[in-house]
Structure 1
Amino acid sequence: MNRVAMSLPLALLLLAGPGCSRKSAAREEAGNHEHGPQAPEPGGGPVPLEGIRGLRLMKVPEPRLEARWVPGEAIGDETAQALLSSPVKGIVSRILTAPGQTRGAGTVLALIQSPELAHLKAQWISAKARLSRTQADLAREERLFQAGAGARRDLESARSEADTARAEEEAARLGLEAVGLKPGDAGASFALKAPSGGAVVAWKVQRGQGVEAGQELGSFQAAQATVVRLELSQPGPQEWNPGAGSEVRQANGRTWKARLEGTPSALTTDTRRLSYRLRLLGGPLPIPGTPVEVKVPLERGVYLPQSALQQMEGRWGVFVVEKGHAAFRPVKRGAEVKDDVLVLEGLKSGDTVVAEGAYLLKAYQQKRTQPEGEEEGHGH
């Protein structure tokens, strides 16, 4: 009886084992009939494309040298920038030039209504009138003295008054010239003029605002920008050498030819990037600080739609098609140019790749490479 009891579980176990195996095999076979053949790991065997819809194939084109537009900044000589200020106290009555507008030397940029300036002008007019009067008195006394009708004391007194009036007139004239005005041109307002050809970079005051003598009103760029600076992340373009030509453009449609002056030997300390300088050729040139874009060449290689590249297990690659099957092939990915991406290594012209729908193959592989226990929840 004990032998029968012991042999029964053993028999059940033997029967259950083959049954479970047959059940798993049947489930796997059914799955194969439903989804197609087992997909390989990334970079493994090919996947049959029969029955998979939504794919578009393309031939890999010949390698070419492309370029992209990178933001930069027009810069000039820092010593060419000047501060705008009023030498007299007053009120800003008019601002005649907007920032960025090119103006010639001597162009009036703003007007300052100044009671102080009017007082200086009045002092000069009064001193000039007194000088004229004392000079006339001196001339009369000299004629009387020469005719023997005048006293020497009166002549010396007239000369002293004339000398005093001349000194007062000169002092009043120098007061006006000290604020940059000729006595004859002075009035109740001060005309702030461009110190040279260039443009106002920015104003720090507005119309109706009171200002003090010597207060900074704005900044003026006396020289035009002749250099463009831009920064690129590593690695820099391999085929971009000093002397190479390029193009620079501004948002308003203006364009310039440019020449690369040199290649950086070290990274910038703040951004840890490569800083490049290009010399603008021809004019009219922009003012410093103007944002621009520079046409930067990329590495030579083939360009594919971004949808063609997929990342699997940390590797970028494409699905290469041969004889109705697609196999994942790792590639070296470069920069993006609009809707395309640069492929530096891993493909040759003439290869057939999946240009659209590659994500379907990626999802198919990921699904079919999951362990059966995770997919079915079976412990065997």
Structure 2
Amino acid sequence: MTRARILRLGLLALAVLVLGWFALRPAAIPVDTVTVGRGPVVDVIEAEGRTRLVDRYLITAPIAGQARRQLLEVGDPVEVDQVLVVLDPLPAPALDARARAEAQSRADAASSRLRGAGEDLGAAQAAAEQAASELARLEALGEQSLVARDLVDKARTAARRADREVASARFRQATARHELEGARAALALGSRSASDAPAMELAAPVAGVVLRRYYESSRPVQAGDPLLEIGDPAGMEVEVDVLSADAVRLRDGMAVELHRWGDAEPLLGRVRRVEPAGFTKVSALGVEEQRVWVIVEITSGRERWRRLGDAYRVNAHFALESRTDVMRIPGSALFRDEDGGWAVFRVQGGQVSLAPVERGLQGGSWVEVLDGLAEGDTIVVHPDRALADGSRVRVR
């Protein structure tokens, strides 16, 4: 075999080996990358909240009555001492034909008794006059000793009895008159829908707007029934429920930003109170969570949030700590290495290398890097599970 032939066979074998190596080596993994830079990192607690009025007033019925039709609509303004609700006395039950006939009979009987009492009074008065005249005659004769003394005493007793009969007849007449009035009132009230008694008016304690009305058409109400709810929209605050583990990190007076309230520019506020008692709430995943109400006072001007109403949804951002100019990377680039520490994949020459990092403040989607990277390094975000130290990559 000549040297030239040997050389050709060697080159052919080398080409086959090179082609086989390219064919069998792992393909480059597509990755997304970002450059390590500097910027602010803010530790923020985010939670959903809702607006509420600081002062709201519930108008209730102080007594049982018939509420007149409500003419105020939700959102209507009201002034101090403006009449909001008018209560009439409850109407008497209507009488059917038999009950009305019975009531008419009772009224007629009461009228007859009144006339009879009047006649009894007249007779008693006549008898009293007769007894008084007889007593005067006998007393005159007794002074002349023309009649016995016991006759005079009997006449005096008869006169007193006659006076008592007159008084008793007057009482019976008054009783009959009241019975007649009661029978006529029952007959009259049972024949119409309402009495003529004056109405009770419930006035507004403060100026504001109508938030809710509990009835519209006229209807009977009982004492304590809610009728109308009013409040002042200028006094608005936000209630936010946060996890109890986050609530212990909040302080009164802490700055708050309110996002997603209807405008791109957030509203400013501050924590007014962290309530001391928590409550249990079931999350969307069915997990029981202990949460705490945090009350936020809106500090932005009223003209900015004038269109906000009661129970509107907002997103509250509580700024716990912030650093303005630090080296930072996206939190999605970090993962746990085999030693349990934090690491990232650094891209160099089409390959990735494992780079342990020491992280600092974390807030939002950013993490402060204290050690392990340099400004300008390229790292992988959202690393794939197939990535390992030395893997070939292709930047998408």
How does the TM-score come out when normalised to structure 2? 0.45
- Larger RCO (CA within 8 A; separation ≥ 6): 2
Q: State which structure, 1 or 2, has the greater radius of gyration over its C-alpha atoms.
A: 2
